[in-house]
Amino acid sequence: MIPWLGIEPGAPFPPVERALTRPDGLLAAGGDLSLERLVNAYGQGIFPWYSEGQPILWWSPDPRCVLFCAQMHVSRRLERRLRTSGWRFTLDRAFEQVVDACAAPRADDAGTWITPAMRAAYLDLHRHGLAHSLEAWRGNTLVGGIYGVALGRIFFGESMFHSEADASKACLVMLCRQLERWGFPLLDCQVHSPHLERMGAELIPRERFGDWLRHVGQAGPDGWALDTDLAGG
């Protein structure tokens, strides 16, 4: 059994060490998606992830999948694509559009975890300077993007999309490179995937991730320069 959170946004989460191993990282259920609770959750390495019709589920997996920005692997093919694609990259120019594109149905018809309540919550985080997006454009058309939450100098990646081949990978590369310039050591990928592993992501113990949170993940929008155009490649 897992704890059920009350409705008070400031109510504490259980210690992350109490998270289940099957399913990996499930820590608690219930509560709400208020700004206060989300900031509290991310500051402890906890994130919400659930489907429509389920209660809010809170997770802290062990091990944790992270991408150290300086160690990102970019294949020669993707580097060439970045140089020749003609894409233009921006920060925080189309946050709502990126979230909606990430929530749109995918080819695998697996549904989306970006419920209306989750959408509203991350738009609120964005209004408070804590959630951000990086966009890829073909002219005036949005063709890719990634969004997530920045606390201190850790970026917690949430979702990404593309409508042109490799555009989401390009966004991840551009985001990591920009974060490295700003002194962000890592991007939290939350859970492992072969795609992320090929780009340099690795699994680290939850305890080590907690150390990073304590050292560089204090809440605040510092380090993020809003509304910045980025050069390609």
Please name each of the domains of the chain with its CATH number: 4-61 (3.30.70.3550), 65-230 (3.40.630.70)
Tens of pLDDT, residue by residue over 13-33, are 999 999 999 999 999 999 999
- The answer, yes or no, to whether residue 222 has pLDDT greater than 70, is no
> DSSP secondary structure string, 115-183?
-HHHHHHHHHHHHTT-EEEEEEEETTEEEEEEEEEEETTEEEEEEEEESSTTHHHHHHHHHHHHHHHTT
Mean pLDDT of 155-175: 96
Question: Which DSSP category does 7 fall into?
Answer: S
How many other CB atoms are found less than 10 A from the CB of residue 127?
11
φ, ψ dihedrals at 57, nearest 5°? -115, 140
Question: Using an 8 Å Cβ cutoff, are 219 and 79 in contact?
Answer: no
- The answer, yes or no, to whether residue 8 has pLDDT greater than 90, is no
Mean pLDDT of 196-207: 96
What residue ranges in 171-228 does DSSP mark as E strands?
A: 186-190, 202-204
Question: Using an 8 Å Cβ cutoff, are 55 and 5 in contact?
Answer: no
Determine the pLDDT at residue 227.
Answer: 46
Tens of pLDDT, residue by residue over 96-130, are 999 999 999 766 555 568 999 999 999 999 999 99
Place of tokens 């990404």: 160
Q: Lowest mean pLDDT: which of 10-14, 73-77, 157-161, 208-212?
A: 10-14
Contacts of 233 (CB under 8 A, 6+ apart): 79, 82, 83
